[in-house]
């Protein structure tokens, strides 16, 4: 629940206030999303024996059908499409800054899930 609240708060704050975000911040937001996505995917795929606890219902299906790496690539593509869709929905146009803020929100969600997974793995083992 805290993950959804954090991600929603970031996006709501941006789409209500629409502050000017420079190119450097956009790059940093996309970089943060990329790194946090990789960390989340790494810890999830490294602990396949815990896949039955995975909250993302699509991931186990994709892994079963396509394998680990293609599934992670598919999930990242889906997230990018969602980021673009969110930008289009709220801004009525494709704005790189809005997509970058969505990337930041997705990145925060991934890093929080990564931390949660670390704690869960420690308590499980």
pLDDT reported for residue 15: 86
Angle ∠(25,82,54) on CA atoms, nearest 5? 105
Q: 3 or 36, which is more confident?
A: 36
Q: Is the pLDDT of residue 89 over 70?
A: yes
| Residue 74, token pair as written in the block | 């598919």
pLDDT reported for residue 125: 66
User: Model-level pTM?
Assistant: 0.88
Q: Is the pLDDT of residue 69 over 90?
A: yes
Alpha-carbon distance 116 to 4, whole Å? Answer: 14
- Concatenating the DSSP letter of every residue in the chain gives -HHHHHHHHHHHHHHHH-----HHHHHHHHHHHHHHHHHHHHHHHHTGGGGGG-S-SHHHHHHHHH-HHHHHHHHHHHHHHHHHHHHHHHHSS--HHHHHHHHHHHHHHHHHHHHHHHHHHHHH-
Q: Is the pLDDT of residue 77 over 70?
A: yes
User: For the chain, what's the residue count?
Assistant: 125
């Amino acid at each position: 629940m805290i993950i959804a609240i954090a991600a929603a708060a970031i996006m709501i704050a941006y789409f209500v206030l629409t502050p000017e975000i420079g190119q450097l911040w956009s790059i940093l937001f996309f970089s943060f999303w990329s790194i946090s996505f990789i960390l989340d995917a790494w810890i999830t795929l490294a602990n396949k024996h815990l896949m039955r606890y995975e909250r993302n219902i699509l991931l186990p299906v994709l892994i079963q059908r396509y394998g680990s790496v293609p599934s992670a690539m598919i999930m990242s593509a889906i997230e990018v499409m969602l980021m673009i869709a969110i930008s289009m929905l709220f801004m009525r146009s494709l704005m790189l800054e809005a997509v970058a803020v969505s990337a930041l929100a997705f990145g925060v969600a991934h890093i929080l899930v990564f931390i949660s997974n670390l704690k869960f793995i420690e308590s499980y083992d």
